[in-house]
Amino acid sequence: MATITTESMALEFASPESLGLDPAMLDRIEQLMISHVEDGHYPGGQYAIARHGRLARGYT
pLDDT (0 to 100) of residue 53: 92
> Residue 10 domain-assigned?
no
For residue 4, is pLDDT > 70?
A: no
CB 19 within 8 A of CB 56: yes
For residue 5, is pLDDT > 90?
A: no
The domain tally of the chain equals: 1
> Residue 13 domain-assigned?
no
Query: What element of type H or E holds 24?
Result: helix 23-38
Higher pLDDT residue, 28 or 59?
28
> Residue 35 domain-assigned?
yes
> Residue 1 domain-assigned?
no
- Domain ranges, residue 48: 20-59
54-59, strands of its sheet edge to edge: 12-13, 54-59, 47-51
6-42 pLDDT, tens digit per residue, is 677 788 999 999 999 999 999 999 999 999 999 999 9
Measured CA to CA, the distance from residue 34 to residue 48 in angstroms comes to 14
In a 13 Å sphere around the CA of 3, the CA atoms on its Cβ side amount to 1
Strands 54-59 and 47-51: antiparallel
> Residue 54 domain-assigned?
yes
> Residue 9 domain-assigned?
no
